[in-house]
């Protein structure tokens, strides 16, 4: 592939240089005009070669980036997905591991714990939902000194 690109660049430059080009109207063939003509021709060819080399380099760079940044595991199991979720959540130094518990079953992420502000809870849920392969998010996150959402039903249930 690389040799093909180099060959195309060199071939294009040679074809461009060989292509006949007449002198401008009213110009006479003398050594000074010939030197100027040759100099302009070299600049033209150099520009074409530089442009084609830049295009080729861009394509090579793009291909390398695709290979380097492919997901290591495009279909993770629940354990790998849990690791991805935890990495995303705890990347933020404001989020403490002591306050949040993460569970994953069949691609459904369950979040338990407490955060200081309702905006923090909503932002965390949105971040988890944006992670590839997360099918759904169940949140049992709550504010400090409040009952967890899944515990309120038990507290409110009639005692028999």
Q: How many alpha carbons fall within 13 Å on the CB side of residue 148? A: 14
Mean pLDDT of the chain: 81
Give the number of residues written for the chain. 160
CA distance 6 to 49: 10
The pLDDT of residue 14 is 65
CA distance 132 to 56: 32
Spell out the residues 6+ positions from residue 30 whose beta carbon is closer than 8 angstroms to its own.
none
CA distance 39 to 51: 18
Each residue's pLDDT tens digit, 20-43: 455 555 555 566 666 777 778 778
CA distance 69 to 64: 9
Q: Which residues of 117-134 are buried (b: 16+ CB within 10 A; e: fewer)?
A: eeebbeebbebbeeeebb
Structure tokens at 8: 């195309």
Ranges under pLDDT 70 in the chain: 12-34, 69-72, 160
Helix (H) or strand (E) holding 114: strand 108-114
The pLDDT of residue 47 is 83
């Amino acid at each position: 592939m690389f040799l093909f690109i180099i060959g195309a660049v060199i071939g294009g430059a040679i074809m461009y240089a060989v292509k006949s080009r007449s002198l401008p109207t009213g110009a006479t063939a003398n050594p000074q005009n010939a030197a100027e003509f040759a100099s302009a021709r070299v600049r033209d060819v150099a520009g074409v070669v530089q442009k084609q080399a830049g295009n080729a380099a861009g394509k090579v760079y793009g291909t390398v980036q695709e290979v380097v940044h492919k997901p290591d595991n495009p279909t993770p199991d629940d354990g790998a997905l849990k690791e991805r979720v935890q990495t995303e959540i705890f990347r933020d130094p404001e989020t403490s591991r002591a306050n949040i518990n993460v569970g994953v079953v069949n691609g459904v992420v369950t979040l338990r714990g407490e955060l200081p502000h309702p905006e923090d809870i909503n932002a965390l849920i949105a971040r988890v939902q944006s992670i590839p392969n997360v099918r759904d998010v169940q949140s049992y996150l709550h504010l400090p000194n409040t009952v967890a959402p899944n515990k309120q039903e038990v507290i409110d249930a009639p005692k028999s």
